[in-house]
Amino acid sequence: MLLLRAEVLQELMEDSYANGGEAFERFVDTYSIGKADGGIEDYIMQVFSFAQSNPWPDKWFEHCRKELETTDFGELDRTEWMRFLLEDVRTQAKEWERQLEDAVKLCMEEDGPEPYLPMVNEDLCNVRQLISACGSYLEFSSAAERFTFSRMAAIRGKNSTVNPDKKEAVSECRKRIKKSVEKMREQYLFESPEKTLEDMEAGKESILMLLALAEEFAARFREKKREKNVVDFNDLEHFALEVLTEAGTGRPGPVADELSRQFDEILVDEYQDSNLVQETLIHCISRERFGSPNVFMVGDVKQSIYKFRLARPELFLEKYNSYTSEESLYQKIELHQNFRSRDTVLMSINDIFFRIMTKKLGNIEYTDETALHPGASFEPYEGRKQGELDTELLLINTAGSELEGLDDDISDYTARELEAGMIAGKIRELTGEENGMAVWDKDEKCYRPARYGDIVILLRSVSGWAESFTEILAHQGIPAFAESRTGYFDTVEVETVLNLLAVIDNPIQDIPLASVLKAPFCGLADRELAHITAVCKRNIEKGRDRGLYSAVMNFLSESRADSEHGPEGEKSGTDELFNDAAIAEKLEKTVKLIEGLRKMAVYLPMHSLLHRIFDLTGYYDYVSAMPAGETRRANLDMLVEKASSYEATSYRGVFHFIKYIEKLKKYNTDFGEASTVNEQGNTVRIMSIHKSKGLEFPIVIVAGMGKMFNKQDTRGKILIDSEFGIGTDYLDSRKRLKGPTLKKNVMKRRMELEALGEELRVLYVAMTRAKEKLIMTASDKNLDGRIEKWRQISLYGGQVPYTILTMAGSCLDWLLMSIRESGCRISVTRVKAEDQLVNEIEEQLSKKVSREELLNRDPDRIYDAAYRKRLETSFHFRYPYEADVALNTKMSVSELKKEGMEAEEETAFLPTLPVFMEEEEVREGGTSRGTAYHRAMELLPFSQITSEEEVTRLLNQYTEEGKLAKEARDMIWPPDIYRFFTTKLGKRMQAAAQAGKLYKEKQFVMGIPAREMGDWDSDELVLIQGIIDAWFEEEDGLILVDYKTDYVNDAQILVKRYKTQLDYYEKALTQMLGRNVKERYIYSYRLGLIAV
């Protein structure tokens, strides 16, 4: 579906360039990224996605356009985004008011900084005026302009009675508020009100163009899906709404009323992640409008972490805040108890979120009612060490004096690698044989020592981090597994094969060709590639150079010429530093390989071409012998699977396959590396916090807490919001001017606050995965400065002020805000970076052998006889079950048919057919001729066929009903079909159909020992699956029928080709029905009936 979407988008862009006019050109010139239009496509898709998340996309587009009609601030004050601006200012100002009131009290205390009092009171007055002015934008703008900060009075003298802590607290409070006010001005008061209106008018054309493009894309995409007879999930939702609601009004219609009567209850889980479309669907089929609400919703808004999927947690909050705890039609039932975690885990989570989760940021106030209360009971354990179950926060400083003076290789350790080393040390401590932690085994009903499989490392994003963590843990002897959802196309084995395919399609591509020449099956070194290029530049006239391919062919030409001259001939361009003959041999081999594969690519399907590449290059076996060989081999297997998926599309050939892969990359359809590790094994698991939702683990390590929040979504030239519509930068491409606009800044502020709320809830989800122990880790290059930054803040009502919470740049900031005061039940440990490197340094020193010592060793001398013997034993080892290794546990009959044909080649020559004559390989428009004919025979009612006209009528009817694809119908010649019904076999099948004894397109799965399949010396059971075209019953047995559309002139070729296939069909029927097959037929639409 993503590729279909990309195809429609590309067509839209091409048509727009051709017919879009000057307005489109200005839009592209203004908002494209660099010289490409990828940014424009992204904006179109964002608008489309937001529209689709609305129950009525057309109304959302209309709403966005209507907003552009506002012409003065009286109208602007009534818009959603302006109301947000004024409410945001009011919320911040009230926080400043509360903080300044506390500062006034400090100044008035006996040992307080009394000289600061006039300035603080002045600030307080200005803040209160700002609060009063938040009724309209012009009033707010005027009040903010009058808001100034006077210079603080000096407090000097060694004998001053002022408490230095109180003095610093007031000073820091005023600095924070001054900084916040300046930031507010930058966001909302960077230009005059008149200029704001001018900017809005200037950006109207671009917004209208973007809306028009998105609407046009939606219409084309809808039409394209209708042509392909496919739907996506958005379609299903909106089709359901069309059925359930009255056209124009959106109110539930007769169908919704009928369905409402069928459902006694509607149960909705994870309600906090619902969106507006789902909410509307639920409303349509509920009985609420009849006075009998019957929707039971379960959710926890603190775990709403799918904003990126356009979830609307406010739907949950609206009901949470309006429903009562009393028994009624709209009753709220609080589920207070947690039956997963130990009380030590829950109490530490509560201690943090009581301080940082507020209604303004996390969408809900963290109170006793919403907090976690222990519900699980754990058996006591006498051997428990003091503090063993305490929640821990491990911190490591990754810069400064701690790393000075170390070896360059050691000091190059990245922050995440140092953090991974710290985690590795903690894991070894938890799993130690003598002093390790004991965990409860729910299966064995007893305590046992913790092992690797009990531990999970949770990361906000696994990209980059998982690789470093896995490597460091493995280096320290700790098995770790991270199932990546990205990076598949970047693996060396997949990239190499894709580059080879690119060269097969077009060898005049320098980068893919260089990759192929350096690959193991060619074996050129970098210096040899440079030599080939240098020889070419030396011998070819300036300006005639045509890249690397030209250099290769020139080198081979020179080499062949030198060979013809013989040993006495003059060598052209030789270099004593290089073995030109050896290089030429490698190039000859590679060019021959590429030319051979180019010829095969003309007639082989994509998956078969890949298999030939693996066979001819030996690359499949090569990567299997590399580190992580099993995963690499699985990655290549996955590439073959993707080739098979590609063949199911309407495209053919290497060129289109490469484009197919490029689109998968472009639209982020990455599959992640193939998984070959058992997640249930004794292995430390590494996963994203999102993937962990709903899971639980005995020991949870939440890592990367010092990673800065990702604010990339707020940095585009265009921002889009489901309620606020579209906001753009002010851009004048002719004058090369760029600047923010008020609406875009408001949208950016809202997105930042929503993102912070999401991060807060993600942290909550991560911490609540732990059953027995919770550990959090963070690395920071200025840890002391970060700790000091949050040391002076004061809690208000036990909570960190909202304006300070929004200043956080990472989860570590929130944690440091929370644990600064006593009463937070978290053990904080600072780990020194050099301690993590001691083992690494010692290991390097113990393994250090000079280069000279290695070069001077005698290669014929045996230095360690015992080690040599172990190596020889390993190299000569033969796996006792080697016969089973290559055995497939599940095979299709088609695969077995091919194996059977290969086995018979010695005794029966079967000519290799070109692709257009192979039934299973030929496809036109995505459907094979054989598939089309099989589908027709499956659909046609045998007992009713009396004429060729009847066959034609029925086939056309099936096409109109969508049962038979149009492209398939175009391949079918009705006389072919009717001719079958005129045969004796056709008439027998008609009679069987009338008696209800004809069976068509029946699937089967059967198990047979491997040794019965051919030359397999194994009793392993292999599952055979297939689909039997047709069979029917007569009194004395079964008759098996197989239809074929192969383009052949010799019946014996068909018999030999499909005999194995029919043998398995017969065996399957005999096993399933316990009856003998008395006759077997192939019906060839070219040759007629053939008995087998």
Q: How confident is the model at residue 132 (pLDDT cuts 50, 70, 90)?
A: very high
The whole-angstrom separation of Cα 410 and Cα 309 is 42
Q: Cα–Cα distances in Å, from 1082 out to 70, 699, 916, 1091?
A: 74, 62, 20, 6
Per-residue pLDDT tens over the stretch 779-819: 998 898 898 888 878 788 888 999 999 999 999 999 999 98
Asked if 392-402+410-483+679-833 and 890-1091 have one fold, the answer is: no
Q: How confident is the model at residue 349 (pLDDT cuts 50, 70, 90)?
A: very high
- Which position has the higher pLDDT, 669 or 308? 308
Residues 1057, 1046 contacting (CB under 8 angstroms): yes
Q: Which residues pair with 730 in a beta bridge?
A: 739
pLDDT for res 63: 92
The whole-angstrom separation of Cα 592 and Cα 653 is 20
The whole-angstrom separation of Cα 764 and Cα 702 is 11
Of 180, 113, 198, 179, nearest to 152 by C-alpha is: 113
Per-residue pLDDT tens over the stretch 366-396: 998 889 999 988 888 888 888 889 999 999 9
Q: Does the pLDDT at position 216 exceed 90? A: yes
Per-residue pLDDT tens over the stretch 1058-1084: 888 888 889 888 888 888 999 999 999
Q: Fill in the DSSP letter of residue 33.
A: B
The strand pair at 1088-1091 and 730-732 is best described as unpaired
Reduced to 3 states (helix: H, G, I; strand: E, B; else coil), residue 1035 is coil
pLDDT for res 322: 92
Q: Which residues pair with 773 in a beta bridge?
A: 699
Q: Tokens representing 646?
A: 């590609």
Q: Fill in the DSSP letter of residue 150.
A: P
Q: Does the pLDDT at position 129 exceed 70? A: yes
Query: Rounded mean pLDDT of the chain?
Result: 84
Q: Does the pLDDT at position 901 exceed 50? A: no
The whole-angstrom separation of Cα 853 and Cα 44 is 64
Per-residue pLDDT tens over the stretch 523-576: 888 888 888 888 777 776 655 566 888 888 888 887 776 666 555 544 444 555
Per-residue pLDDT tens over the stretch 457-473: 999 988 888 888 988 89
CATH architecture of 492-567+574-666: Orthogonal Bundle (1.10)
> Out of 335-339, 630-634, 943-947, which region has the weakest mean confidence (pLDDT)?
630-634
pLDDT for res 575: 55
pLDDT for res 565: 58
Q: Is 1037 left (phi over 0), alpha (psi -120 to 50) or beta?
A: left
Q: Does the pLDDT at position 835 exceed 90? A: no
pLDDT for res 443: 85
Q: What angle do CA 290, 296, 298 make, to 5 degrees?
A: 150
Secondary structure in 3-state letters for 49-74: HHHHCCCCHHHHHHHHHHHCCCCCHH
Query: E-assigned strands of 748-854?
Result: 770-780, 827-831
pLDDT for res 362: 78
The whole-angstrom separation of Cα 218 and Cα 49 is 10
Domain ranges of the chain: 2-67+195-228, 80-190, 233-333, 343-374, 392-402+410-483+679-833, 492-567+574-666, 890-1091
Q: Which residue type does 401 have? A: S
1048-1086 in b/e form (b: 16+ CB < 10 A) is beebebbebbbbbbbbbbbbbbeeeeeeebeebbbbbbe
Per-residue pLDDT tens over the stretch 639-653: 888 888 777 766 678
Q: Does the pLDDT at position 909 exceed 90? A: no
Q: Cα–Cα distances in Å, from 379 out to 384, 441, 445, 533, 1002?
A: 12, 11, 9, 73, 55
- Which position has the higher pLDDT, 966 or 244? 244
Q: How confident is the model at residue 916 (pLDDT cuts 50, 70, 90)?
A: very low
Classified by CATH at the fold level, domain 392-402+410-483+679-833 comes out as: Rossmann fold (3.40.50)
The whole-angstrom separation of Cα 81 and Cα 472 is 48
Computed from CA positions of residues 887, 888, 889, 890, in that sequence, does the dihedral angle turn out positive or negative?
A: negative
Residues 68, 81 contacting (CB under 8 angstroms): no
Q: How confident is the model at residue 363 (pLDDT cuts 50, 70, 90)?
A: confident
pLDDT for res 832: 81
Q: How confident is the model at residue 911 (pLDDT cuts 50, 70, 90)?
A: very low
Q: Does the pLDDT at position 187 exceed 90? A: yes
pLDDT for res 1061: 86
The whole-angstrom separation of Cα 421 and Cα 835 is 10
Mean pLDDT (whole number) for 850-859: 63
CATH architecture of 233-333: 3-Layer(aba) Sandwich (3.40)
The whole-angstrom separation of Cα 688 and Cα 210 is 35
Mean pLDDT (whole number) for 396-413: 57
The whole-angstrom separation of Cα 864 and Cα 675 is 38
Tokens 């690789």 belong to: 467
Q: Does the pLDDT at position 749 exceed 90? A: yes
Reduced to 3 states (helix: H, G, I; strand: E, B; else coil), residue 396 is strand
Per-residue pLDDT tens over the stretch 941-981: 999 999 999 999 999 999 988 888 888 888 899 999 999 99
pLDDT for res 45: 92
The whole-angstrom separation of Cα 340 and Cα 331 is 26
Of 668, 642, 670, 669, nearest to 657 by C-alpha is: 642
The whole-angstrom separation of Cα 607 and Cα 389 is 54
Per-residue pLDDT tens over the stretch 315-328: 999 999 999 989 99
Q: Cα–Cα distances in Å, from 879 out to 183, 1010, 1021?
A: 70, 18, 19
pLDDT for res 406: 46
Q: Does the pLDDT at position 14 exceed 70? A: yes
Q: Does the pLDDT at position 336 exceed 60? A: yes
Mean pLDDT (whole number) for 516-526: 88
User: What residues have CB less than 8 Å from 566, skipping those under 6 apart?
Assistant: none
- Which position has the higher pLDDT, 474 or 259? 259
The whole-angstrom separation of Cα 349 and Cα 773 is 12
Q: Tokens representing 294?
A: 């019957």
Classified by CATH at the fold level, domain 2-67+195-228 comes out as: Enzyme I; Chain A, domain 2 (1.10.274)
Instruction: Classify burial at 211, counting beta carbons within 10 Å of its beta carbon; exposed 0-12, middle 13-18, buried 19 or more.
Output: buried
The whole-angstrom separation of Cα 552 and Cα 532 is 7
Per-residue pLDDT tens over the stretch 245-281: 998 788 999 999 999 999 999 999 999 999 999 999 9
Q: What is the CATH number of domain 890-1091?
A: 3.90.320.10
